[in-house]
Amino acid sequence: MKSTINEIESIDKYKPLAIAAGLGSVLGSGIIVGMSATITVWQLGLNLNNGQVGIISGALTFAIAIGSLIAGEITKKIGLVKSFNFMNFLFAIGAFVCVLAPNYLALLVGSIIAGFASGADLPISLTMISHDSPDEKTSSKLIASTQIFWQIGVLGSYGAAFLVSKMAGATGARVVFACLGILALLIGVWRTFSRKFKTLHQEGNKHQVNNKTTGKQSTLNVLFGKNKKKYLSMFISIMIFYICWNLLANTFGQFETFMLVNAHASQSLATGAGLVLNFVSLFATMAFAKCAGSKYRNWFFIIGMTIQFLGMFSLAALSHELWPIIFAIGFMSIGSNIAGEAIYKVWTQEAFPMSVRSSIQGFIGGFSRFLCGLFAFITPALVVQSVIKTTMFGFSGMVVIAFLFGLNMVRLEKKYGIQSENKRK
């Protein structure tokens, strides 16, 4: 009973930090969905051609990937706390460049700046939570809770784009990006000037000293050093799991409406289904966040991956008509949010020394996004009705691969006692 009370008090104490980090995820999903939802508005308002639209979308994806890839180097150059505080201000600059953009070039530059900042902020924010948390159990729960904010950003961007859809020219798109820019400024000010956060950061430094984790280590030395077997095997397991899972999630996220419309759904049905499924995703994420630091986490992973496989395989085996597609997307929405991004975040923050967590998570996330960006060039041809059945068999295989490497990560955590401090009641 006493331990339960202490656990609740610990979560409550650090919850503001998780919210501040999670709001960065709102910006991350907001810039992706916001650009996707308003790109046709930008096209009309700024007289962009299809080639320019494609370049802006691609540049945003790759900017996010690059930011994620070098997040660890940024923290090493200017420090973890300064990086945590600064990235939202950089995002705001990019967003306001988009708001004021008079032409294609300005919109492209603003998108790149905002995308880079959002890509770097995710691994930095999660490492900040991990750094300040008093123990791994608290850290796991707080990190998992940040995924809720990602879904909130998706819903918020869709909602904002819908509300301003009747505005003339590019005005509606400018309003959406102005909202993102203002939110980024507010988050940056809060992170930078909050006395509570300064105290938590100082306490976090003491935790790391007590745990003897403040020594600087290079990522290569960790992965190929004396504990090579431990860290390299976990790195490979997490990376292959996340790449396979993210290719699926990115495909369904970006081309969900495209698939529905190609299956002869009306635009209203496609949009409505997408909105409902995003709400389903939000509740699934909340369910996982509740158990991220509990003994049930691994069961959530197994159930989530099984649900994703059933969704993919049923679509491949049964039909490529409208309702099986909606059924499959629904299963993906549930399964991927209890066995996907959130558990990947927890694994990377638990498995590696503090000094290299930003670098490793940034590399895996950035490399995965880079592959997703390349894959997006061929995805439209893979999800049209005539070939979607074959594609879903291939995707089913990718779920199996992700599942196997995820199970290996669960095994490795048990083998090396990584969850020993999290032993649950």
The pLDDT of 338-353, averaged and rounded, is 89
Q: Is the pLDDT of residue 119 over 50?
A: yes
Q: Is the predicted pLDDT of residue 308 greater than 50, yes or no?
A: yes
Residues in the chain, overall count: 425
Q: Tokens in use for 192? A: 């930078």
pLDDT at 262: 65
Q: How far is CA 18 from CA 23, 199, 284, in A?
A: 8, 15, 18
Task: Specify the higher pLDDT residue, 183 or 385.
Answer: 183
Two structure tokens written together for 5 = 């009370």
Look at 251 and 303; give whichever has higher pLDDT: 303
Q: Output the pLDDT for position 254.
A: 61
Residue 141 is predicted with a pLDDT of 82
pLDDT average, residue stretch 174-184: 95
Is the pLDDT at 348 greater than 60? The verdict is yes
Neighbours of 144 (CB within 10 A): 26
CA distance 112 to 116: 6
Specify the pTM.
Answer: 0.81
User: Of 272, 243, 240, which is closest to residue 256 (Cα–Cα)?
Assistant: 272
Asked if 338 contacts 258 with a C-beta cutoff of 8 angstroms, the reply is: no
- Residue range 151-155: mean pLDDT, rounded: 83
The DSSP code sequence of 100-127 is T--SHHHHHHHHHHHHHHHHHHHHHHHH
Q: Using CA atoms, how far apart are residues 64 and 62, in angstroms rounded to an integer?
A: 5
Q: What is the mean pLDDT of the chain?
A: 84
Statement: residue 23 has pLDDT above 60: yes
pLDDT of 255:
61
Rounded CA separation 8/263 (Å): 48
Which pLDDT value is given to residue 190?
96
Q: Which residue has the higher pLDDT, 186 or 313?
A: 186
Helix 2-46 vs helix 195-210: crossing angle, to nearest 10? 120
What are the C-alpha distances in Å from 85 to residues 47, 234, 348?
36, 30, 22
Give pLDDT, residue 425: 40
Split at pLDDT 50, 70, 90, the class of 166 is confident
Measured CA to CA, the distance from residue 3 to residue 308 in angstroms comes to 35
Helix (H) or strand (E) holding 317: helix 297-318
Q: Are 287 and 338 in contact (CB under 8 A)?
A: yes
Q: What's the pLDDT score for residue 161?
A: 73
* From 1-5, 232-236, 362-366, 375-379, the region with the lowest mean pLDDT: 1-5
Contact between 138 and 10 under an 8 Å Cβ cutoff? The reply is yes
Out of 40-44, 127-131, 180-184, 342-346, pick the least confident: 40-44
CA angle (152, 326, 262) in 5-degree steps: 105
Residue 309 neighbours by CB distance under 10 Å = 20
pLDDT at 270 over 70: no
**pLDDT exceeds cutoff 50 at 424:** no
pLDDT at 56 over 80: yes
> How many angstroms separate the CA atoms of 51 and 66, rounded?
22
Window from 119-123, 215-219, 366-370 with minimum mean pLDDT: 215-219
Helices 195-210 and 104-132: crossing angle, nearest 10°? 50
CB atoms within 10 A of CB 399: 25
Q: What is the pLDDT of residue 215?
A: 54
Q: What percent of the chain has pLDDT over 90?
A: 40
Q: Where are the beta strands (DSSP E) in 250-359?
A: none
pLDDT in tens, 406-422: 999 999 999 998 864 44
* Residue 2 scores a pLDDT above 90: no
Q: Are the C-beta atoms of 273 and 364 separated by less than 8 Å? A: no
pLDDT for residue 172: 86
- Given a contact cutoff of 8 angstroms between Cβ atoms, the answer to whether 137 and 7 are in contact is yes
Per-residue pLDDT, 423: 46
pLDDT (0 to 100) of residue 271:
57
What confidence category does residue 320 fall into, taking pLDDT thresholds of 50, 70 and 90? Answer: low
With b meaning 16 or more CB within 10 Å and e meaning fewer, what string describes 236-265?
Answer: ebbbbbbbbbbbbbbbbbbbbbebbbbbeb
Q: How far is 356 from 50, CA to CA, in rounded Å?
A: 41
Average pLDDT of span 3-16: 71
Among 141-155, 185-199, 324-338, 357-371, the range of highest mean pLDDT: 185-199
- Using the predicted structure, report yes or no on whether residue 313 has a pLDDT greater than 70: yes
